[in-house]
């Protein structure tokens, strides 16, 4: 019998990490961070999901049902495909297990950048001009036509996924064609977005205990290294940027970023916590780039830095979020 079953009076938390996603490595670190900083009232149970989607507990392969057999609540530490698109949420709901993060629909809408942008527009939330291309457009002639008809420079990214993987800023056809091909290797559809120059920002939000009120954290200003045109994967995880929290934005801009982050959270139907990325322009206002329904919680991640600046420890955030999940 596992030792955690013998301990009484504590809540057993299954921490999902890994998974069949390009963000596998980030998820491993998020899960590790959650396990290490979980308050003593909980017993963390490390549930590793391999790149091919097989669940493991203590090194043994398990079905999801067996892996969660002695779990009271699940911390979803997955990122990207499977963990953030509604699939694992559907598994957890079929097993009647409470879990952290957004539900099936909110996860799916937040993960698909095209659907999310449609909801932004429906809610009068400003987002860059964009188009979505599918497999039929993945030909030389079609890519030439798209390049010629779309304002350049542009941003090319997979329709789903995070951490800015396979995201490129391009201005000539050779780099555009290469970027489209790279993005198609990560997802079946590709988003092509107007490039908007400005200052990068992100803002996290956290639901209150009543689940009806949501609070915004301090916005973070992101200053990429001079060698970077935007906050890409290397900048995020290899210390190639400055992340200022508190930011140097005016109080008016800070308030607007917080209000927009709250509006995005509501528009997509997200829950518990989320983070939204922005571009702040000098003359065109603030543009919403995308939402993160399960932002990273590694030592390098932005969300924990915003929590710290707001006077919230990771332990308190974990406790609060698990309470939300258990009370849902």
Q: What share of the chain in percent tops pLDDT 90?
A: 84
The string of pLDDT tens digits covering residues 30-45 is 999 999 999 999 999 9
The string of pLDDT tens digits covering residues 200-213 is 999 999 999 987 89
Give the number of other Cβ atoms within 10 Å of residue 240's Cβ.
Answer: 16
Check residue 3 and give its pLDDT.
Answer: 42
Check residue 61 and give its pLDDT.
Answer: 98
213, 198, 211: which is closest to 282 by C-alpha? Answer: 198
- In this prediction, residues 100-127 reach a mean pLDDT of 96
Write b or e for each residue in 148-182: b if 16 or more Cβ atoms lie within 10 A of its Cβ, otherwise e. Answer: eebeebbbbbbbbbbbbbbbbbbeeeeebbebbeb
Chain centroid offset of residue 226 CA: 25
Check residue 232 and give its pLDDT.
Answer: 47
Distance separating alpha carbons of residues 120 and 290, to the nearest angstrom:
9
Provide the 8-state DSSP code for 246: S
């Amino acid at each position: 019998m596992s030792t955690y079953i013998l301990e009484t009076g504590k809540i057993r938390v299954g921490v999902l990490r890994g998974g069949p996603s390009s963000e596998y490595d980030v998820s491993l670190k998020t899960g590790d961070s959650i396990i290490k900083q979980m308050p003593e009232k909980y017993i963390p149970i490390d549930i590793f999901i391999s790149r091919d989607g097989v669940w493991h507990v203590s090194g043994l392969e398990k079905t999801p049902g067996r892996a969660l057999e002695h779990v009271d609540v699940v911390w979803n530490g997955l990122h990207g495909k499977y963990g953030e698109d509604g699939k694992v949420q559907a598994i957890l709901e079929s097993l009647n297990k409470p879990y952290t993060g957004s539900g099936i629909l909110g996860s799916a809408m937040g993960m698909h950048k095209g659907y999310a942008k449609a909801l932004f527009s429906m809610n009068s939330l400003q987002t860059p001009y964009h188009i979505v291309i599918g497999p039929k457009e993945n030909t030389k002639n079609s890519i030439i036509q798209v390049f010629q008809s779309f304002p350049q420079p542009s941003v090319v990214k997979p329709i789903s996924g995070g951490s800015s993987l396979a995201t490129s800023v391009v201005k000539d056809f050779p780099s555009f064609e290469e970027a489209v091909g790279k993005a198609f290797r990560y997802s079946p559809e590709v988003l092509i977005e107007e490039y908007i120059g400005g200052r990068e920002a992100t803002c996290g939000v956290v639901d209150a205990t009543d689940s009806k009120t949501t609070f915004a954290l301090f916005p973070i200003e992101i200053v990429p290294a001079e060698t970077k045109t935007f906050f890409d994967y290397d900048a995020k995880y290899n210390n190639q940027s400055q992340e200022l929290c508190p930011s140097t934005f005016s109080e008016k801009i800070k308030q607007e970023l917080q209000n927009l982050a709250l509006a995005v959270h509501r528009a997509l139907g997200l829950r518990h916590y989320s983070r939204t990325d922005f571009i702040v322009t000098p003359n065109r206002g603030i543009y919403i780039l995308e939402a993160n329904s399960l932002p990273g919680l590694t030592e390098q991640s932005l969300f924990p830095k915003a929590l710290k600046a707001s006077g919230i420890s990771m332990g308190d955030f974990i406790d609060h979020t698990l309470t939300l999940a258990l009370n849902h």
